Amino acid sequence: LPLLVPTAGVMLVPERKTEDGFEEHFGLNYLGHFLLTNLLLDMLKQSGTHSHNARIITVSSATHYVGKLHLNDLQSRCSYSPHGAYAQSKLALVLFTYRLQHLLTANGSHVTANVVDPGVVNTELYKHVFWVVKVAKWMTAWLFFK
């Protein structure tokens, strides 16, 4: 069963740009996933069958609920906030996945696009959080984190 799960990303990084000049959260968390998905979409469409859809699983975050999509400032140039940039990138992923599923359904494609929030996972994504949060994570990760 063909499956695409793009998972690379960053969280709460200081203001910086990708090699291509994009704000890092938006570039890695959204544009990279958007590009990879679109590069592989034709192959996924050819792989899916009536009885077994190919699948695209996009990993987002509940943070998207507080995100705002600033269409006139996708690069967060006006006022940078690591939290705002992260939430915007995750909201963009959710909206992209919803739209992609709508288009796949409308075209009768045998590909399913879903977006998921894995919850709080013990990864290196937390290396840019405030030190108090790092201490709390260190003390409670075994109990609360996946």
Indicate the angle between helix axes 32-47 and 82-106, nearest 10 degrees.
Answer: 20
Kind of pairing between the strands at 3-4 and 54-59? parallel
CA 49 distance to own-chain centroid? 26
Question: Which of 30, 86, 98, 126 is labelled catalytic?
Answer: 86
**118 touches 64 (CB < 8 A):** no
Cα–Cα dist 87/44, whole Å: 28
Cα–Cα dist 70/128, whole Å: 23
CA 18 distance to own-chain centroid? 16
Q: Is 86 a catalytic residue?
A: yes
**45 touches 110 (CB < 8 A):** yes
Residues serving a catalytic function are 86
